[in-house]
Structure 1
Amino acid sequence: MKKTLLASLGLTLMLSTSASVALAEEANSVPVAKESILASSLTGNEQEPNDDFDQANEFLIGDAFIGTLGKEGVPGVWEAYDVFKFKAFESQEVHFTIQGDRYPDCWLQLTIYDSNGQRIKRSRNGQYFLNTDVEKGKEYYLAVDAPGLQPYTGKTFFYKVSSEVVE
């Protein structure tokens, strides 16, 4: 009985391993469309310094990233503003959500700028999301700041920004 059970388990393991290898080989031979490479789902951390348009961190629509405001991202520099850059590969509406801390005297805010640095849209006081229309082929900036955050108050904002296409 034990031998039959062990033989049966061994056969099952061998067949499942063979099937997994065959499926992996088949998946590797399937061509990947260029558009699927553009839609990343990776989450990354901001890279300091990113306090102005020239230093903006790049991301793709569909990405999420993590950052901080308030503490010294660069030694000796109080950070109250982060800038990120993205390109629209399609004309579409994009929804940005920011998750993070709230304090009575300040909050996190999102602002979208065009490639010339002209403000397009800003989230309202205490509103932790922002929708905006983007045009195919154009570059944009997304700024994160905390209005009311005073240097060296001991407050540090940890945040996560997510972006997604509105269907």
Structure 2
Amino acid sequence: MKKTLLTSLGLTLLLSTSAGAAFAEDADSVPVAKESNLTSLLEYHEQEPNDSFEQANYYFIGDAVIGRLGVEGVPGVWEAYDVYKIKAFESQKAHFTIQGDRYSDSWLQMTVYDNTGSKMKRSRDGQYSLDVELEKGKEYYLAVEVFPGLQPGGHIFDYKVSSEAVR
């Protein structure tokens, strides 16, 4: 598991560094609006277990992750929420968007916590986006869960979380 995670992180850093360098070379010749809607550099699937702060998958602003809630993971345990760990490499506002299933009685919500586990901001009333200020050098957690709660054997939620820095 650790070897897979380190390999994934290494690949992520390599790709983002390469893409960033290529983008920087072209930056002089291509005007970019202050609020850019560039697509994600990397899209990947969550790695289980990621059901707590201690088990959180790493997530980088600008990437996209695909996950699933409402299925049985370990026998008898239902996947009720997923957690992602974010490191802020610069102070910025991050805009998170979640695409996924929505039912008349339940939907997905996102919550951002600081590194102490204190809730900072939560999406409300079925909103599928969330803006939050991140401070350079700090770590944060993004939790994806079903609201008002998940019933074993109930709905299955497939989702995709993406993000971008808003300047």
How would you bin the TM-score normalised by the shorter chain?
0.7 to 0.9
The 1-side partners of 2:131 and 2:20 are apart by 23
Percent identity reads 61
- Structure 2, unpaired ranges of 5+: 1-15, 24-39
Q: Which residue of 2 aligns with 1:22?
A: none
Aligned-residue offset at 1:70 = 0.4
Q: Which residue of 2 aligns with 1:36?
A: 20
When structure 1 is superposed on structure 2, of 70-79 and 55-64 the one drifting more is 70-79
Q: What does 1:69-108 correspond to in 2, within 5 Å?
A: 69-108=69-108
**C-alpha RMSD over aligned residues:** 2.1
Structure 2 letter corresponding to 1:112: V
Q: Which residue of 1 aligns with 2:63?
A: 63
* Number of positions where the alignment pairs a residue of Structure 1 with one of Structure 2: 135
Q: Which residue of 1 aligns with 2:26?
A: none
Q: Which residue of 2 aligns with 1:130?
A: 130
What SS does the corresponding residue of 2:54 show, helix, strand or coil? helix
Q: Which residue of 2 aligns with 1:9?
A: none
Confirm or deny: 8 A CA contact 1:111 1:121 kept in the other structure. Answer: yes
The 2-side partners of 1:161 and 1:33 are apart by 22
- Structure 1, unpaired ranges of 5+: 1-31
Aligned-residue offset at 1:75 = 3.2
Q: Which residue of 1 aligns with 2:31?
A: none
Structure 1 letter corresponding to 2:67: G
When structure 1 is superposed on structure 2, of 143-152 and 111-120 the one drifting more is 143-152
Confirm or deny: 8 A CA contact 1:109 1:147 kept in the other structure. Answer: yes
Which structure would you say has the larger Rg? 1
What SS does the corresponding residue of 2:20 show, helix, strand or coil? helix
| Gap change, CA 1:155 and 1:132, over 3 Å in 2 | same
Q: Which residue of 1 aligns with 2:118?
A: 118
Structure 2 letter corresponding to 1:44: Y
What SS does the corresponding residue of 1:36 show, helix, strand or coil? helix
| Gap change, CA 1:35 and 1:137, over 3 Å in 2 | farther
| CA deviation string 1:117-166 (max 9, x = no partner) | 00000001200000000000000000000013432243100000001001
Confirm or deny: 8 A CA contact 1:49 1:74 kept in the other structure. Answer: no
Q: TM-score, normalised by structure 1?
A: 0.75
What SS does the corresponding residue of 1:108 show, helix, strand or coil? strand
